[in-house]
Chains A and B, each alone.
Chain A
């Protein structure tokens, strides 16, 4: 009797642990595995759909027939399609994304070279988005339907309607050509610093600080400030709108009235209590924003000749360098999926109301 009781409570505790704590994680990992598998399947199919002959893409169309046959077999193209897919899967899971035809490097090496630039840009843009977008959203919510609110709304509306590559070009004309506030839109550093800076993280702002080269840091900052600001426009618009809606939810709660009745200052109510509770959903939105900025940086990178992954993919595209395109897609896709699912997980773990 006693043992069955304790067994029952043990099971109950286990199942309660399962539903409360473990379930979101199990869901996270199964979704991650499934989605990543889907991504690999899709990129594999895309790779097979391409209009150019993959063998000719590697050896060129002037190669002798014997070499063609040898390469054909070496690339495993004579195997059944399922086997080819498992080769592909195996390769990607071991970090082998093939060789780039255009740069003649391993795609993995190329990506390690280019990705930090994208990461640096997207991270800075997300930080800008948080520093500016969240206070904007709070102010809009507190002044609901007043001019501040409308101003934030119009700002967001423009952000959702203007093509970023176009805004970037106009910003270059204004801030570089006419005002001369920023560096030329050509990469991350001026030539004088480009080859002297030791590469550690491959993120120039961090590398210049590590090297304590303040001239280079200033130069790097002059280069990154405009693309990062432009990229952050989207995150500012999105974060301010979401913050506003979360804050409105909080400000209509009864605890706010209680706090007012108790004589808590309005500043403390807004910035400490209400915003404090709005953080949980905000964190998930920030993770989503970060993911979309990593992806959205493609167009910004083109305009500013920024040596990031987006530019790498686009250059590879125009050279029909399929390994590089798919490798880049897989990496951006993986990080994107990871951030997406993490935001979902954070929401479930932090918000006790979510079942």
Chain B
């Protein structure tokens, strides 16, 4: 253990890998000593684990399958030792549905991560790298998208593409890439006139190699911070679309849609809407805390300032 620590903290690392691991370790140490960031990390990690093992954790499936008198006796039961979060109008166990619903939240998060930031990232770096009319054109398009109202546009898009989780994700992705394009462009502009980039260019590196090998890696950390901080907003927007009936459709246990189902009964059966909402809140809070912590570690410019 101490040997590993010595290797990681070596003042003169022997290889690039060792230096990279060393930096990663130092970042982790800073992160580790930030209690709020650790809480966020644990929340997000828990979400991952719950989603991964959902079928084993959930005591019941998403549907009770009960009918007739059995349904009548088992529905709208308040929280108890047997049903931690109570049961809903179809006698489904709310806790089980929330646990299984975590997978949907994770799918939304994953799909948005692999679309909007990447698109914005490419547009931003290309725009900043080439400059001139490419920059003007791409940034005008970005500005136009940036000025759009996100939720309302997502509403209209979800309506046009038909209700469903895919439309909701597409709508969120198409409205959230401009912020990343702006960010990546700004970062690229600070790099594009550096000596090391000129050196790489003189060695005959292609545009694509310069962008992908030398510019993108340097923009990556601020992008990761930004995406993590935005994740809470994305989860809330997705839940909002689900709540409006435009995201995942029942009986899918999407948390926003579950709150919508509970809305009709809020004055009589409070647990139907309360627990899914608590789940959304916890996950969004986790991403917010994690993003704040990552910003301190990965983005030295803003460290300790905010």
Q: Interface residues, chain A, CB within 8 Å of chain B?
A: 31, 34-35, 38-39, 42-43, 46-47, 49-51, 157-158, 160-167, 169-170, 172-173, 177, 245, 291-292, 294-296, 298-299, 302-303, 313-314, 317-318, 320, 322, 325-326, 328-329, 332-333, 336-337, 340-341
**Chain B interface size range:** 35 or more
Specify which chain B residues have a CB less than 8 angstroms from the CB of A329 in the assembled complex.
Answer: 149, 152-153, 155-156
Bound Cα distance from A253 to B61, whole angstroms: 61
Bound Cα distance from A8 to B273, whole angstroms: 71
Bound Cα distance from A245 to B284, whole angstroms: 23
Further pairs besides A166-B259, A298-B152, A298-B155: 17, Cβ < 8 Å: A35-B144, A38-B148, A46-B156, A157-B285, A157-B289, A161-B236, A163-B243, A163-B281, A169-B277, A173-B267, A173-B270, A245-B306, A294-B149, A295-B149, A314-B244, A322-B159, A336-B152
Bound Cα distance from A295 to B175, whole angstroms: 14
Residue of A nearest to B266 (CB): A169
Are B148 and A39 neighbours in the complex by a CB distance under 8 Å? yes
B273: contacting residue among A34, A169, A336, CB under 8 A: A169
Q: Interface residues, chain B, CB within 8 Å of chain A?
A: 140-141, 143-145, 147-153, 155-162, 232-233, 236, 239-240, 243-246, 256, 259, 262-263, 266-267, 270, 273-274, 276-277, 280-281, 284-285, 288-289, 306
Specify which chain A residues have a CB less than 8 angstroms from the CB of B284 in the assembled complex.
Answer: 160-163
Specify which chain A residues have a CB less than 8 angstroms from the CB of B140 in the assembled complex.
Answer: 34
Bound Cα distance from A172 to B262, whole angstroms: 13
Q: Which of B150, B152, B267, B277 has the most CB of A within 10 A?
A: B152
With A172-B266, A322-B159: A166-B152 Cβ-Cβ less than 8 Å: no
Minimal beta-carbon separation of A180 from chain B (angstroms): 12
Minimal beta-carbon separation of B305 from chain A (angstroms): 9
Minimal beta-carbon separation of A106 from chain B (angstroms): 19
Bound Cα distance from A320 to B162, whole angstroms: 10
With A166-B259, A177-B267, A317-B159: A341-B285 Cβ-Cβ less than 8 Å: no
Are A31 and B236 neighbours in the complex by a CB distance under 8 Å? no
Bound Cα distance from A69 to B226, whole angstroms: 52
Are A165 and B243 neighbours in the complex by a CB distance under 8 Å? yes
A-B pairs with beta carbons under 8 Å apart, 27 shown: A38-B145, A42-B153, A46-B157, A47-B160, A51-B161, A157-B285, A160-B233, A162-B284, A163-B243, A163-B256, A163-B280, A163-B281, A163-B284, A169-B259, A169-B263, A170-B274, A173-B270, A245-B306, A294-B149, A296-B151, A298-B155, A313-B156, A314-B244, A317-B155, A322-B160, A332-B149, A336-B152
A166: contacting residue among B147, B245, B273, CB under 8 A: B273
Specify which chain A residues have a CB less than 8 angstroms from the CB of B233 in the assembled complex.
Answer: 160
Residue of A nearest to B241 (CB): A299
With A161-B232, A295-B149, A302-B244: A34-B144 Cβ-Cβ less than 8 Å: yes
Bound Cα distance from A164 to B233, whole angstroms: 12
Minimal beta-carbon separation of B113 from chain A (angstroms): 19
Specify which chain A residues have a CB less than 8 angstroms from the CB of B141 in the assembled complex.
Answer: 38
With A39-B148, A317-B155, A325-B159: A160-B244 Cβ-Cβ less than 8 Å: no
Are A336 and B267 neighbours in the complex by a CB distance under 8 Å? no
Bound Cα distance from A131 to B263, whole angstroms: 31
Q: Which of B147, B232, B262, B277 has the most CB of A within 10 A?
A: B147
Specify which chain B residues have a CB less than 8 angstroms from the CB of A173 in the assembled complex.
Answer: 266-267, 270
Specify which chain B residues have a CB less than 8 angstroms from the CB of A157 in the assembled complex.
Answer: 285, 288-289
Are B147 and A340 neighbours in the complex by a CB distance under 8 Å? yes
Minimal beta-carbon separation of B274 from chain A (angstroms): 7
Minimal beta-carbon separation of A177 from chain B (angstroms): 5
Specify which chain A residues have a CB less than 8 angstroms from the CB of B244 in the assembled complex.
Answer: 298-299, 302, 314, 317
Bound Cα distance from A332 to B145, whole angstroms: 14
Bound Cα distance from A246 to B270, whole angstroms: 41
Are B243 and A35 neighbours in the complex by a CB distance under 8 Å? no
B243: contacting residue among A46, A161, A299, A325, CB under 8 A: A299
Bound Cα distance from A169 to B267, whole angstroms: 9
Bound Cα distance from A60 to B246, whole angstroms: 23
Residue of B nearest to A321 (CB): B159
Bound Cα distance from A302 to B259, whole angstroms: 13
With A43-B156, A161-B285, A313-B155: A166-B148 Cβ-Cβ less than 8 Å: no
Bound Cα distance from A166 to B150, whole angstroms: 20
Specify which chain B residues have a CB less than 8 angstroms from the CB of A299 in the assembled complex.
Answer: 151, 240, 243-244
Specify which chain B residues have a CB less than 8 angstroms from the CB of A38 in the assembled complex.
Answer: 141, 144-145, 148
Q: Which of A38, A164, A322 has the most CB of B within 10 A?
A: A38
Specify which chain B residues have a CB less than 8 angstroms from the CB of A320 in the assembled complex.
Answer: 159
B160: contacting residue among A31, A49, A313, A332, CB under 8 A: A49
Are B151 and A318 neighbours in the complex by a CB distance under 8 Å? no
Specify which chain B residues have a CB less than 8 angstroms from the CB of A296 in the assembled complex.
Answer: 151
Specify which chain A residues have a CB less than 8 angstroms from the CB of B243 in the assembled complex.
Answer: 163, 165, 299, 302
Residue of B nearest to A39 (CB): B148
